[in-house]
């Protein structure tokens, strides 16, 4: 099963604004792009056309791994506001 | 500013235990939880050991909504294409008092929230705490959005990421080598199927551990817990391992590879995937723990770095409950004396030292650096699998003596200086 299909099973209420912000000037200089590999929800991708990193905050599992893995400090990460984000029904 | 007695940030086991205890002592306490309800942002492997926490939640812990009591431990060592599996069971574990139970956090935390509310704690969901408020250099409340609430003491139980401890200057920013990420899937299966498949009686459970090639040589391992009518299946990998050792594999791919292994797939077959979750776990032990208090503030549970990975046993929830209760007890004492200074709250650490929490964290101070030896996840699993492979294989040539076989395979993998070094390191475990 694709990770997108797995994410679709979760109860998530999405905010209209992202709780994850990227500093594209830092991302532009990054060769490793570890955010892509470490995110369990596979939310990060590199847009070849714009040359920018993209993060699909909507499926976020709120683990914070990306923020910890990005040692260059490009990722500004906060929890989604109350009422928003993933709501685990099992946990 | 008007002040209530205490604010607890975070509706996990640490925060809820603290709120329960504060309310039980007759103190005003507000617990702020950012999710829809306590537990809705929380993830466990999970299993909880009862003996360590019984003294901290007297009278109620036995009514907790546990899933199954664990009667068997299953260990699966995997190489590419082969696996060695063994089990340990004990008849004693089938009789009360049970040692450990599998749990699901939405249910368990919801239950503890009810207990705390019944004691008079105010639990406010959907409230994310953004900042701490200070007064004369002492923490004096919180800000959530535009709303400010004053409190004599704030107990930060805001989980493994704990932004509050960092904001309060109690810890450095997180580092990849200090944390692991756990990815978990919940599969629904009916009770009877689970019991037949795992050979369990009613209410009996199994805890499974998977190590070796499932993490592609990275620090970590897999787990499987039988719940009442679901299975918790997941993988834990060090974040720095993922950064440096991943190569062509990403976290979702690792998870997919794990559940796709026949040794794992056989257990979840026919089950319906219900939830996909992820959470970070502190793996650094006491070495990376934050300072546990400052004037007007105490830190409990995952926020305090209280988690322990000993390979075979992974613990966190007992530390959360015990530290939450001890933070509350310290707060009550300080409130009674009307002294919420750093000096007064330093008695929290003393309590933790006299309990199992800090001694356990101290004893296993080096567990991560010992376990974080690549050979544990590569060479030894391969050695074990190949040894059994050779012992079981009957080919067209005359079979070599068993001792000779064992010696030859051992020579190939473990009779060397590297193993000696690993053994020497393991003395610190």
Per-residue pLDDT tens over the stretch B217-253: 888 999 999 999 999 999 999 999 899 875 678 999 9
Give per-residue pLDDT as tens, B355-371. Answer: 999 999 988 888 777 87
In degrees to the nearest 10, what's the CA dihedral of B96, B110, B315, B320?
-110
B179 touches chain A (CB under 8 A): yes
Residue whose entry in the numeric block shows the structure tokens 């988690």:
B307
Q: Strands B29-32 and B122-124: what pairing?
A: parallel
> How does the average pLDDT of chain B come out, rounded?
94
Give me the half-sphere count of Cα atoms (radius 13 Å) on the Cβ side of residue B134.
9
Residue whose entry in the numeric block shows the structure tokens 């990815």:
B183
Q: Strands B69-79 and B82-89: what pairing?
A: antiparallel
C-alpha distances in Å from residue B414, one per residue of B347, B393, B407, B419? 48, 21, 10, 6
Q: Is A18 exposed, middle or buried (0-12, 13-18, 19+ CB in 10 A)?
A: middle
Instruction: Check whether A67 has a pLDDT greater than 80.
Output: yes
For B341, the token pair is: 């200074």
Cβ neighbours of B255 in A, within 8 Å: 40
Distance CA B83, CA B384 (A): 9
Whether B104 contacts B66, CB under 8 Å = no
Q: What are phi and psi of B52, to 5 degrees?
A: -65, -30
Distance CA B204, CA A78 (A): 40
Closest alpha carbon within chain B to A7: B276
Whether B209 contacts B221, CB under 8 Å = yes
Closest alpha carbon within chain B to A34: B243
**CB-based contacts of B353, cutoff 8 Å, min separation 6:** B359
* pLDDT value of position B1: 82
SS3 A21: strand
Closest listed residue to residue B184, CA positions, set A66, A55, A9: A9
Give per-residue pLDDT as tens, B10-58. Answer: 999 999 999 999 999 999 999 999 999 999 999 999 999 999 999 999 9
Distance CA B22, CA B16 (A): 10
B360 touches chain A (CB under 8 A): no
- For chain B, give every domain's residue range: 3-64+105-171+290-355, 370-426
Distance CA A44, CA A78 (A): 16
Closest listed residue to residue B305, CA positions, set B324, B320, B318: B320
Give per-residue pLDDT as tens, B70-117. Answer: 999 999 999 999 999 999 999 999 999 999 999 999 999 999 999 999
**CB-based contacts of B335, cutoff 8 Å, min separation 6:** B5, B6, B27, B152, B153
Higher pLDDT, B375 or B261: B261
A37 vs B41, B250, B274: nearest CB: B250
Cβ pair B250:A39 closer than 8 A: yes
A68 vs B42, B144, B176: nearest CB: B176
Cβ neighbours of B251 in A, within 8 Å: 37-40, 42, 65
Strand partners for B233: B185, B224
Element (H, E) at B149: strand B147-156
Instruction: Check whether A68 has a pLDDT greater than 90.
Output: yes
Cβ pair B242:A90 closer than 8 A: no
B239 touches chain A (CB under 8 A): yes
Instruction: Check whether B314 has a pLDDT greater than 70.
Output: yes
Cβ pair B176:A88 closer than 8 A: no
Distance CA B34, CA B6 (A): 17
Closest listed residue to residue B267, CA positions, set B189, B335, B337: B189
Closest listed residue to residue B182, CA positions, set B207, B156, B215: B215
For residue B376, name the pLDDT band (cuts at 50, 70, 90).
confident
Q: Strands A52-55 and A44-47: what pairing?
A: antiparallel
Ranges assigned E (strand) in B290-343: 293-294, 297-299, 308-309, 314-315
A91 vs B42, B127, B242: nearest CB: B42
Instruction: Check whether B304 has a pLDDT greater than 80.
Output: yes
* pLDDT value of position B247: 63
A71 vs B145, B176, B250: nearest CB: B176
**CB-based contacts of A17, cutoff 8 Å, min separation 6:** none
Q: For the structural domain made of B3-64+105-171+290-355, what CATH number should be given?
A: 3.50.50.60
Cβ pair A86:B277 closer than 8 A: yes
Percent of chain B scoring above 70 in pLDDT: 100
Q: What is the ipTM of this complex?
A: 0.97
Residue whose entry in the numeric block shows the structure tokens 């406010």:
B124
Whether B183 contacts B253, CB under 8 Å = no
Determine which of B46, B181, B265 to mutate to test the interface with A (most A C-beta atoms within 10 Å). B181
């Amino acid at each position: 099963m694709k990770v997108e299909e797995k994410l679709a099973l979760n109860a998530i209420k999405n905010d209209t604004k992202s709780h994850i912000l990227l500093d594209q000037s830092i991302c532009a200089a990054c060769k490793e792009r570890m955010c892509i590999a470490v995110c369990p929800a596979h939310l990060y991708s590199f847009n070849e056309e714009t040359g920018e990193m993209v993060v699909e905050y909507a499926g976020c599992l709120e683990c914070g791994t990306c923020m910890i893995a990005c040692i260059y400090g490009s990722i500004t990460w906060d929890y989604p506001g109350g009422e928003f984000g993933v709501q685990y029904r099992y946990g | 500013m008007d002040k209530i007695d205490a604010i607890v940030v975070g509706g996990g086991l640490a925060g809820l235990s603290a709120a329960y205890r504060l309310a039980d002592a007759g103190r005003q306490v507000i617990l702020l939880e950012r999710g829809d309800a306590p537990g809705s942002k929380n993830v466990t492997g999970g299993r909880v050991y009862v003996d360590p926490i019984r003294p901290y939640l007297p009278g109620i812990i036995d009514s907790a909504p546990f899933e199954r009591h664990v009667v068997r431990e299953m260990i699966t060592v995997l190489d590419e294409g082969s696996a060695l599996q063994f089990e340990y069971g004990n008849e004693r574990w089938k009789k009360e008092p049970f040692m450990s139970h599998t749990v699901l956090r939405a249910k368990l935390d919801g239950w503890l929230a009810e207990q705390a509310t019944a004691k008079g704690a105010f639990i406010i969901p959907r409230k994310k705490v953004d900042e701490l408020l200070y007064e004369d250099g002492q923490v004096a409340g919180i800000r959530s959005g535009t709303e400010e609430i004053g409190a004599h003491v704030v107990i930060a139980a805001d989980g493994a990421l704990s932004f509050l401890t960092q904001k309060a200057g109690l810890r450095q920013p997180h580092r990849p080598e200090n944390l692991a990420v756990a990815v978990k899937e919940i599969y629904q299966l009916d009770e009877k199927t689970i019991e037949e498949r795992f050979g369990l009686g009613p209410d009996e459970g199994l805890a499974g551990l998977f190590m070796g090639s499932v993490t592609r040589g990275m620090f970590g391992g897999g787990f499987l817990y039988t719940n009442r009518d679901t299975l918790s299946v997941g993988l834990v990998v060090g974040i720095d391992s993922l950064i440096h050792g991943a190569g062509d594999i990403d976290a979702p791919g690792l998870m997919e590879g794990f559940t796709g292994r026949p040794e794992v797939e056989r257990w979840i077959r026919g089950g319906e995937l219900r939830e996909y979750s992820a959470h970070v776990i502190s793996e650094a032990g006491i070495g990376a723990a934050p300072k546990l208090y400052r004037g007007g503030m105490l830190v409990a549970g995952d926020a305090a770095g209280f988690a322990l990975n000993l390979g075979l046993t992974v613990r966190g929830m007992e530390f959360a409950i015990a530290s939450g209760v001890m933070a509350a007890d310290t707060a009550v004492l300080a409130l009674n004396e009307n002294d919420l200074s750093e000096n007064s709250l330093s008695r929290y650490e003393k309590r933790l030292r006299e309990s199992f929490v800090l001694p356990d964290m101290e004893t296993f101070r080096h567990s991560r650096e010992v376990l974080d030896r690549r050979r544990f996840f590569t060479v030894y699993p391969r050695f074990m699998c190949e040894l059994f492979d050779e012992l079981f294989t009957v080919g067209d040539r005359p079979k070599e003596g068993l001792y000779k076989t064992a010696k030859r395979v051992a020579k190939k993998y473990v009779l060397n200086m590297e193993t000696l070094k690993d053994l020497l390191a393991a003395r610190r475990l």
